[in-house]
């Protein structure tokens, strides 16, 4: 049976791997990406929907008839210049809105990239925000929801992050000392896990951390 996958966050580290894997996977006959501008990628299976993430009507139309929606969108403190309200508009508003619209349009599976340690009761802004997103997504009542909670992501980024470049080799070296859920993991492994989860389509709310993602 033909399947349509919709991806939000296709230009990111996980999203770029996920897009390539979806295009190569015969399980999906249509791969739709929601973008602010054309990506420059061309493929017979690919549909590119130019959207305004503040325009609810265009978003509803863009994800209609999706069998699975993947959301790997996210920003950084650097991009928003430390503005927590601007950060929240990306990392909270978009994934929550897309989950609600997925439910409204009858999409059965929603798969979201969160973060290791996400907890709506955390005192840490980032972890609290991610936890709040998870809580709202769980409440939508979508048939099948998978939350991916990777820790430090390994892989090549187009964007240079000095702190990450500094910490990554250290994290690799001491990985064996870290609790499993905080071990560094390749972005491609997360993308593969998301596709694996999408094919399960099990009813319920599932959280995958390092061990589940690696399996």
Q: List the catalytic residues.
A: 126, 130
How far out from the chain centre does Cα 209 lie? 14
Tokens for 16, please give them: 């770029």
Bridge partners of residue 208, in order along the sequence: 148
DSSP classification of residue 76: -
Q: How open is the CA angle 84-9-108, to the nearest 5 degrees? A: 110
> d(Cα 42, Cα 47) in Å, to the nearest integer?
9
> d(Cα 180, Cα 211) in Å, to the nearest integer?
7
DSSP classification of residue 183: S
Nearest to residue 142, comparing CAs of 110, 95, 111, 114? Answer: 110
Helix, coil or strand: residue 93: helix
Length of the chain measured in residues? 215
- Any residues with CB less than 8 A from the CB of 164 and at least 6 apart, and which? 152, 157
């Amino acid at each position: 049976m033909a399947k349509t996958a919709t991806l939000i966050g296709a230009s990111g580290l996980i999203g770029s791997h996920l897009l390539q894997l979806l295009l190569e996977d015969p399980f999906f006959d249509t791969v739709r990406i929601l973008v602010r501008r054309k990506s420059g990628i061309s493929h017979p299976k690919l549909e590119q929907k130019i959207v305004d993430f503040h325009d609810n009507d265009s978003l509803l139309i863009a994800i209609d008839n999706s069998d699975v929606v993947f959301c790997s969108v996210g920003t950084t403190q650097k991009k928003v210049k430390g503005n927590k309200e601007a950060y929240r508009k990306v990392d909270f508003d978009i994934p929550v809105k897309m989950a609600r619209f997925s439910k409204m349009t009858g999409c059965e599976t929603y798969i979201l990239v969160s973060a290791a340690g996400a907890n709506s009761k955390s005192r840490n802004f980032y972890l609290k925000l991610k936890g709040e997103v998870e809580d709202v997504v769980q409440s939508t009542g979508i048939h099948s929801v998978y939350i991916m909670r990777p820790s430090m992501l390994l892989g090549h980024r187009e964007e240079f992050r000095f702190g990450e470049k500094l910490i990554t080799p250290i994290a690799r070296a001491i990985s064996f000392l870290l609790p499993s859920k905080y071990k560094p993991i390749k972005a491609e492994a997360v993308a593969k896990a998301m596709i694996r989860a999408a094919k399960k389509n099990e009813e319920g709310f599932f959280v995958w951390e390092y061990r589940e993602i690696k399996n």
